[in-house]
A and B are shown apart, each in its own frame.
Chain A
Amino acid sequence: MTVIHVENIKKTFGENKAVNDVSFDVENGRIFGLLGPNGAGKTTTIRMINNILVPDEGSITINGQIASPTTQKMIGYMPEERGLYKKMKVEEQLLYLTQLKGMTRKAAKEAIHYWLERFEASDWIKKEVGELSKGMSQKIQFIATIAHDPDIYIFDEPFSGLDPINSDMLKEIIIELKNNGKTILFSTHRMEQVEQMCDDICLFNKGKAVLQGNLREVKASFGKNTINLEFDGDGSFLDQLEGVRLNNRSTNFAEIRVLNGQNMQDILKLAMEHTEIHKFERIEPSLNEIFISTVGEDNLKAQQQEEA
């Protein structure tokens, strides 16, 4: 069943086409990753799904309903730019935010106490958020996002700015929510997080969705065109290779994407001449590699230079 249906949405700010004709579907009970570099249009898309912005064209439906104040209540949203009122006490603050999501005061109180206990945060209940440490207020932020028990969870760059403990905790929460049948959409520009967690992905670049689908299928469709090489010795022979792209290179490791259908055995021979091989494995490309080959390396470099 489709939970979030995005169809041909466009959003322009002045001259800038932030989102240009994007469509995708998020299925029930799955973890959906929106990927892409900064400025690709992920946040704008997420804001439109949350009915914070309205698309210029196209439509968004949540559980079959057009995005509206009603659908807002079905979603727990943690924005990239997130924060809390510093001068408000933890409990008052959570009560306020969950009541805005349509909960009654009584139900809100119960939910808040349950989550505070789960996060071992019940002691902070009467403290002002300004007095809490950064890690503590991040936990409060999670509670504010999930306490009203919605069916859909949207996290925009959820791991940015999180300390490692909270980062792991959030991963656990996301997996737990999924196991409870909830639907999760999150955006990130860090590909490795997606590899670990996502069922489905949608790749954004310059306001367009350039690649989407089931993560495993997407990877499989690229074939085993990458070599995972571990060696001992002088790695400078790698520079002599032509028609390859080197990802993730270090002193005794390299991920070699083979282009133009070149024979992999030639690479192995060359490697054996110069070093002692510990491992030679044909694998599916990493998501990062998929992204690069989809968008085009030159394209990406030009883009990165623009940003810098």
Chain B
Amino acid sequence: MDFSKILLVLKREYLTRAKSKSFILSTVLTPLVLIAFGALMFWIVSSDTETQKSVGVYDTTGLLVEDFIQADSTRYSDVSNLPVDTVRAMVLRKEIDAYLLLEEKHIETNESSELIYSSNLGLAFTGSVRSDLRQIIQEERLQRANVSDEIKELFSRRPTLNSRKLTEDGKEEDDKAGFMSGVGFVLGLLIFMGLFGYGAVLMRSVIEEKTNRIVEVITSSLKPIELLIGKVAGVCLLGFTQFAIWIVMYVGISLAAVPVAGLLMQDQISEMASSAEMEQVAAEAGFDPASLEVLSIDPMIFVYFFFFFVLGFFMYAALFAAVGSAVDSEQDTQQFMPILMIPLMLAYFLNTRIMVDPDSSLAVFASLFPLTSPINMITRIATTDVPIWQIGTSLVLLIGSFFGVMWVSAKIYRVGILMYGKKASFGDFAKWIRQS
């Protein structure tokens, strides 16, 4: 292995990519796209998706219908006076969207009431009707049991739970599980996108060398494995450059944004100063300095992020390079892409489970298995206290499979880069591995 040659390859790979228009564009556009995407998601989640639907209440007891109408007079209407058949016909004619059948037994016993509809109402809507129903029937039951107002009041109160974490040194810490599982998911997502995005960059670079017919000129000067390592390291460094630029951009924007936000906040506060709400707003806004601590992230996480990203990238990059070496054009890569896509997509989907349940055996397995661990382990590390032996095992397995994958990929790569005009198959891969 000649490191001066590897360095030359690395330098060329890095410099030509870093100076390219596509790199500059993607560096600028990716954060904008992410912000736009985030804003869109926020809008979708926060927008009032519940459409107005009308429900006829068919109340044979005559006791409940008033409460429903009181709860929401636009949604509920009284159809108790009409014959049931007429009500059913109304539903079919879409004059009302559904009717709710209430009888004495629904109050006395635990039998389910029924909501009859003709076209689907949607989960959010039925859920909302269900909660109205629960409250109204419960009130009626309490009424009948003749309980005092105090007890009624007791029922309407909701106990709350604050979780706090006991740390090693015996102190309690404010729970930041919600925040940290979010951080974990984002870090996992970053690795996922990094492996995919930069892996594809490397693959295109390998294909480019083949289609430009320069690869044989180069392999007459160095070993294919040196070329492969130099290229992978170059693209990896490119990834770090891009991450670094984004971090600088983020910090810069936040620094610039804080005074502006502060100014806006002050305006709002002074506006409200006279109102009685002031105190409450201040409490809700959480100016308690402790709340900032909740948002701080243990720097060790970023150290782990670095290791899992680098190792994961080298492993996947070797696979991407092997695929690139076996084809003549990007279109031909499609038959091989599933080997790369399936474990990566799987790890991504597992992450949505792992962020909420980071200690399940599935999560432990996914964070040890080398094809998914780069993405899943970082999410677990952020979300929960992963035993050090698991992190160690995960890293060892990852390093081991990195060498294994590199060894196999290098063999495919060696043969593949000199093959022209022949569409390779998985069978060819096996032949090439045996042959070299």
Contacts and interface: CB of A to CB of B under 8 A. Distances in A.
Interface string A70-96: 001101011101111111100000001
Interface in B10-36: 12, 16, 20
B216 A69 contact: no
A82 B16 contact: no
Contacts of A84: 212, 214, 217
A267 to B, nearest CB: 46
B106 interface: no
Nearest to B224: A52
A99 interface: yes
A97 B420 contact: no
A100 B223 CA distance: 11
Interface in A86-141: 86-88, 96-97, 99-101
A81 B216 contact: yes
Interface string B263-289: 000000000000000000000000000
B220 A75 contact: yes
A82 B435 contact: no
A99 B8 contact: yes
Contacts of B418: 47, 52-53
A85 B431 CA distance: 30
A81 B221 contact: no
A86 B435 contact: no
A117 B107 CA distance: 101
A144 B216 CA distance: 13
B417 to A, nearest CB: 10
A75 B221 CA distance: 9
Nearest to B226: A69
B212 A86 contact: yes
B214 A85 contact: yes
B168 interface: no
B212 A101 contact: no
A52 B220 contact: yes
Contacts of A144: 217
A283 B191 CA distance: 74
A144 B220 CA distance: 12
Interface string B237-248: 000000000000
Given A13-B435, A14-B435, A52-B418, A77 B16 contact: no
Contact of A77 (B9, B212, B220, B223): B220
A45 interface: no
A100 B212 contact: no
A52 B216 CA distance: 8
Scoring B5, B212, B420 by chain A CB atoms within 10 A of each residue's CB, the highest score goes to B212
B212 A83 contact: yes
Contacts of B220: 50-52, 72, 75, 77, 79
B77 interface: no
Contacts of B5: 100
Contacts of A96: 8, 12
Interface in B414-436: 418, 420, 431, 435
Interface in A253-303: none
A78 B214 CA distance: 10
A84 B12 CA distance: 13
B212 A85 contact: yes
A100 B4 CA distance: 9
A101 B221 contact: yes
B interface, by DSSP: helix, strand, loop or mixed?
A: helix
A75 to B, nearest CB: 7
B16 A87 contact: yes
Given A14-B435, A69-B2, A100-B8, A81 B223 contact: no
B397 interface: no
Contacts of B8: 96, 99-100
B222 interface: yes
A87 B20 contact: yes
A68 to B, nearest CB: 10
Given A69-B222, A69-B223, A101-B221, A82 B20 contact: no
B221 A83 contact: no
Contacts of B216: 47, 52, 79, 81-82
A73 B213 CA distance: 20
B116 interface: no
B352 interface: no
A83 B16 contact: no
A259 B209 CA distance: 51
A99 B10 CA distance: 13
A53 B209 CA distance: 18
Interface in A42-73: 47, 50-53, 69, 72-73
Contacts of B420: 81
A79 B417 CA distance: 14
B219 interface: yes
B218 interface: yes
Given A75-B220, A100-B5, A100-B221, A83 B435 contact: no
Scoring B221, B420, B435 by chain A CB atoms within 10 A of each residue's CB, the highest score goes to B221
Scoring A75, A85, A144 by chain B CB atoms within 10 A of each residue's CB, the highest score goes to A85
A225 B222 CA distance: 49
Scoring B12, B213, B216 by chain A CB atoms within 10 A of each residue's CB, the highest score goes to B216
Nearest to B221: A100
Nearest to A46: B220
Contacts of B435: 13-14
B213 A83 contact: yes
Contacts of B222: 69, 72, 100
Nearest to A76: B220
A47 B220 CA distance: 8
B270 to A, nearest CB: 58
B16 A97 contact: no
Nearest to A83: B213
A144 B435 CA distance: 31
Scoring B16, B217, B418 by chain A CB atoms within 10 A of each residue's CB, the highest score goes to B217
A32 to B, nearest CB: 18
A292 to B, nearest CB: 29
Contacts of A87: 16, 20
Contacts of B2: 69
22 contacts: A14-B431, A47-B216, A47-B418, A51-B220, A52-B418, A69-B2, A69-B222, A75-B220, A77-B220, A79-B213, A79-B220, A82-B213, A83-B212, A84-B214, A85-B16, A85-B209, A87-B16, A87-B20, A88-B16, A99-B8, A100-B8, A100-B9
Nearest 7 Cβ contacts at the A-B interface: A83-B213, A100-B221, A79-B216, A77-B220, A83-B212, A50-B220, A81-B213
Given A53-B418, A100-B5, A100-B221, 14 more contacts: A47-B418, A69-B222, A73-B221, A77-B217, A77-B220, A81-B420, A82-B216, A84-B217, A85-B16, A85-B214, A86-B212, A100-B218, A101-B221, A144-B217
